[in-house]
Structure 1
Amino acid sequence: MDFTLSPRVEDFRARIARFVEEEVLPVEEDRSNWDAHDNIAAEPLEMLREKARAEGLWCLQLRRETGGQELGRVGMAACYEEMNRSIFGPVVFNSAAPDDGNMMVLEQAATDAQKERWLQPIVQGKVRSAFAMTEPHPGGGSDPGMMLTTATKDGESYVIRGRKWFITGAEDASHFILMARTSDDPRRGLTAFLHHREDPGWHIDRRIPIMGPEEHGGHCELVYQDMRLPADRVLLGEGLGLKVTQMRLGPARLTHCMRWLGLAKRCTEIAQEYAQNRHGFGIRLSDRESIQIKMGDLAMGIEIGRLLVMKAAWALDQGSFARKEVSMAKIHVANLLHKAADVAIQVNGARGYSRDTVLEWIYRYARQARLVDGADEVHQMVLHRFLAEEGRDFWTWQTQEVRKGVAAE
């Protein structure tokens, strides 16, 4: 496993770091650029997006033929970390959830005609999208096998009935990927569909109030009442919805972690700056051993997270599903982000609890990290399943191939 960045990836990473420093952070600092839901407002966002496009920093995660730069997962890890030094960074580069994961799954699973209609407008920044899977109890959540929303075949169409909730970005989305049950087959009972916000037969029941700041479009509860979709709206194929969820959610969990590392580093940055300048009882905060212990432990936790993310990214680039690696990264980095925000607030004292910095924003946002795309406990159970099946082989080293009787060096 070699995580050395290629000159091309390093060039993108450095350019993103400069763009965030010079362009995004000044916009973030001015609260007049924020919307009512603690996100970047439409006008400054479009201004920054135009600059990002002009500098070739747009949709880096996608293939060249789609409109991206084809950086691979390892390259994405390095660049996404830099993007999320700002709380507004990822959306500026069209690399924010849920559009990020939706674009990648459409690129992989859609037909050419579907890509033209459903993917390209998202790539071009003309529309936003949502992934409608999670349902209220007793429906499907982390276990998609519990899904209650149905799609019943009626001639050349499907009739959709059901309810979804906590659908990120739904209020602002035009393109939706919808998961529904087409049979009771445990492996091939789910199907993914594409629909537009103007299609009849569905509505947003409410925008769910949440504890933290919100992505554009919020987190909504949707109701489907006899929505009729033609067969060309099926993504990948009838009965292949579970495969679509696997294609969508595995990499998306990891891209969350890539971005969260950037936020964790930002927390450390704010804490360091304050500790170096704040004096009390005749001594600078950064010279106190208690602060040094906190900051050293946080720095180590971030580096562990980076290694876990890079290993998972490397495994995905090698063609692996990387289920163990992604679960380990998801658990560690989600908890790390919460810890980083908590430590930084503690170091900053009342200033950290105020809105004079973005720490309180990150703290509220961080609590959801241990829930989205699978709660900690779900991923811990995944790891236990692998441990029970593999035993000591759970921990293995990647080895080089042996060619012509000689080990490759």
Structure 2
Amino acid sequence: MDFTISPRIEEFRSRIARLVEDEILPREADPASYDAHENIRTDLLDTLRATARAEGLWCLQLAPETGGQGLGKIGMAVCYEEMNRSIFGPVVFNAAAPDDGNMQVLEKVATEEQKACWLEPIVQGRVRSSFAMTEPAPGSGSDPGGMMLTRAERRNDRYIVNGRKWFITGAEAAEHFILVARTSEDPRKGLTAFLHHRDTPGFRIERRIPIMGPEEHGGHCEVVYENMEIPVENRLMEEGDGLKLTQIRLGPARLTHCMRWLGLSKRCVEIAEAYAQDRMAFGERLSQRESVQMMLGDLAMKIEIGRLLVMKAAWELDRGGYARKEISMAKVHVANLLHQAADTAIQINGARGYSKDTPLEWIYRYARQARLVDGADEVHKMVLHRSVEKEGRGFWHWDVGE
């Protein structure tokens, strides 16, 4: 088993690290850099994005013909982890959700005409996008195939859409939307995916839903479709392929979340270590206390476990596999790790960690959603148990080379 990375990937990683250190972290430390929703101000973001683009660090995840560098999932794991040393990092490099997942799925399944109209503007950074699938109860959540209520009815050369979605990330700032709606009652082929613009008649944003944590640009919105017309040429893939498209998109997207969360987890350790080295209490530094050493050592171990889980899933995807088990294991582990890392770092920093003098409280509030988004922990564990039931001892097999 070879755990080395290529010199090319390392070159991108080191350049990202320098840009994060020199250009992004200083902005993160300045309260004036934030917008009203605790994300980076868009004017400042535009400046940093121009720097990333000028240095050839833009959309590294995409193929060269799309405008990227074709790093593959292993290269993305290395680079995304480095980007998210800063809470602002991924969006600077156009590697943040939901645009990241939307660009990757459009690159994979859209027609050339659709790519020119819908994908290229996102790649260029001229527009943002959203993925509209989740619905209010009793509509689709973790089981979109069986529960989706939003319907798209075919009428000649167009579809008429009616329904409601919520917690649609980035919707308020998005121009391009990928919509998943029901077109039949078939349990496997009943959903279809579509593309639509923000200004399409019959579509509206009902509200921006207030949440506990800091928000992505555009927030998390509830949106309504009322007799919205979508021409058939804006359908993605074939009618009935909507569930397939969600699987193509969401599997890798779950993994890219984990890549980024590992970077944030490492940042928590970094902040905690620095404070423990400086802080004196009862005649000794915090870093000399066994209890603190055990807390940080435990995090170091769990971060490395997360990196190995992510890398195995990335390797499996790069060689053409689906990595369903590997992604579920990584998703559960890293989501919980991020929460633990932020909590531990706050505990070591004391009142300083609870304040806004460090990004730890930002990360802590952000981390709570990690165990919910793209499949709650319990859903992934249920899926893993089904695999154990089906495969038995073979669940833990090693692939044998030729």
Give TM class, smaller chain.
over 0.9
User: What is the alpha-carbon distance in structure 1 between the residues aligned to residue 301 and residue 161 of structure 2?
Assistant: 49
Q: TM-score, normalised by structure 1?
A: 0.98
Alignment-derived partner of residue 242 in structure 1:
243
Q: Tell me the alpha carbon deviations over residues 313-358 of structure 1, each in whole angstroms, 9 at most, x when there is no partner.
A: 0000011110000000000000000000000000000000000000
**Superimposed CA distance per residue, residues 202-248 of structure 1 (whole angstroms, 9 cap, x where no aligned partner):** 10000000000000000000000000111001001111001100000
Indicate the residue corresponding to 1:406 in structure 2.
Answer: none
CA distance in 2, matches of 1:28, 1:7: 30
C-alpha distance in 1 between matches for 2:319 and 2:357: 44
Give the TM-score normalised by the residue count of structure 2.
0.99
Structure-to-structure mapping, 1:169-248, within 5 angstroms:
169-248=170-249
Name 2:355's counterpart in structure 1. 354
- Distance in 2 separating the partners of 1:225 and 1:136: 16
Matched, 1:27 2:27: yes
- 1:113 paired with 2:113, answer yes
Quote the residue 1:10 is aligned against: 10
The CA deviation at 1:399 is: 1.4
Q: Which residue of 2 aligns with 1:282?
A: 283
- Give the whole-Å Cα distance in 2 for the aligned partners of 1:178 and 1:98: 13
Shift of 1:361: 0.1
Q: What is the rounded CA distance, in whole Å, between the counterparts of 1:151 and 1:3 in structure 2?
A: 47
* Letter paired with 1:98: P
Using the alignment, how far apart are the partners of 2:189 and 2:354 within structure 1? 49
Count of residue correspondences: 401
Partner of 1:160: 161
Alpha-carbon shift at residue 2 of structure 1 (Å): 2.7
Which blocks of at least 5 consecutive residues in structure 1 are unaligned? 402-409
Q: Deviations over 1:22-80 (max 9, x none)?
A: 01001111110100000000111000000000000000000000000000000000000
Q: CA deviation at 1:301?
A: 0.4
Alpha-carbon distance, 1:198 to partner: 1.1
Counterpart code for 1:228: E
Distance 2:32 2:217 in 1: 17
Alignment root-mean-square deviation, CA: 0.5
Distance 1:376 1:229 in 2: 35
CA contact (8 A) 1:147 1:181 kept: yes
Q: 1: CA distance between counterparts of 2:391 and 2:371? A: 26
Aligned to 2:331: 330
Q: 2-side partners of 1:16 and 1:233: how far apart?
A: 36
Q: Could you report, residue by residue, the CA deviation over 1:93-131 in whole angstroms, capped at 9, with x for unpaired residues? A: 000000000000000000000000000000000000000
Secondary structure, counterpart of 2:56 in structure 1: coil
Q: Could you tell me whether the CA contact under 8 Å between 1:207 and 1:219 is conserved in 2?
A: yes
1:59-138 alignment runs, 5 A limit = 59-138=59-138
Which residue type is aligned with residue 267 of structure 2?
Answer: R
In 1, distance between residues paired with 2:16 and 2:2? 22
The answer (yes or no) to whether the contact 1:3–1:74 under 8 Å persists in 2 is no
Could you tell me which residue of structure 1 aligns to residue 383 of structure 2? 382
Q: 1:133 is matched by which residue type in structure 2?
A: M
* SS of residue paired to 2:230: strand
Work out the CA distance in 2 between the residues paired with 1:18 and 1:35.
25
CA distance in 1, matches of 2:304, 2:259: 12
**Separation in 1 of the partners of 2:337 and 2:292?**
17
Give the Cα separation in 2 of the matches to 1:2 and 1:325. Answer: 18
1:58 is the counterpart of 2:68: no
Deviations 1:277-304, CA, capped at 9 Å, x for gaps:
0001101000000000000001000000
> Aligned partners of 2:400, 2:158: CA distance in 1, in Å?
50
Alpha-carbon contact 1:86-1:263 (below 8 Å) kept: yes
Aligned to 2:394: 393
Secondary structure in 1 matching 2:366: helix
For residue 3 of structure 1, report the CA deviation from its aligned partner. Answer: 3.1
- Matching residue of 1:256: 257
AA partner of residue 60 (structure 1):
L
Uncovered stretches (5+) of structure 2, i.e. residues with no partner: none
| 2:37 matches 1:37 | yes
Could you tell me which residue of structure 2 aligns to residue 291 of structure 1? 292
- Could you tell me which amino acid in structure 2 is paired with residue 57 of structure 1? L
Match of 2:142 in 1: 142
Q: 1:2 & 1:199 partners in 2: Cα distance? A: 50
**Residues 348-373 of structure 1: CA deviation (Å, up to 9, x unaligned):** 00000000000000000000000000
- Match of residue 405 from structure 1: none
SS of equivalent residue, structure 2 residue 160:
strand
Per-residue deviation, 1:155: 1.2
The equivalent of 1:311 in structure 2 is 312
| AA at the equivalent of 1:147 | M
